[in-house]
């Protein structure tokens, strides 16, 4: 988790349009994107 947080910091911090994808050929890709569904509103970080 510390690695993911560091990647978000390097990307300029969290913002509503943040999206990035980390690929590793041996595993499934990790995709970080903002929750857009109203049902996921509780998962959005408070700004």
The residue ranges of every structural domain in the chain are: 2-37
19 and 7 in contact (C-beta within 8 Å)?
no
In the predicted model, what is the mean pLDDT of residues 36-46?
61
Question: Which region holds residue 15: left if phi is over 0, alpha if psi is between -120 and 50, else beta?
Answer: beta
Q: What is the DSSP letter of 45?
A: P
Tell whether pTM > 0.75. no
Specify whether the CB–CB gap between 47 and 29 falls below 8 A: no
Both tokens of 29, joined, read 């890709």
Q: What is the pLDDT of residues 5-33, one digit of tens each?
A: 887 788 788 777 777 788 989 999 988 77
Distance of CA 32 to the CA centre of its chain: 3
């Amino acid at each position: 988790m510390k690695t993911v947080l560091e990647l978000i910091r390097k990307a300029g911090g969290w913002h509503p349009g943040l999206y990035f994808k980390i690929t590793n050929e041996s595993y499934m890709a990790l995709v970080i994107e903002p929750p857009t569904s109203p049902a996921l509103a509780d998962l959005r970080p408070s700004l």
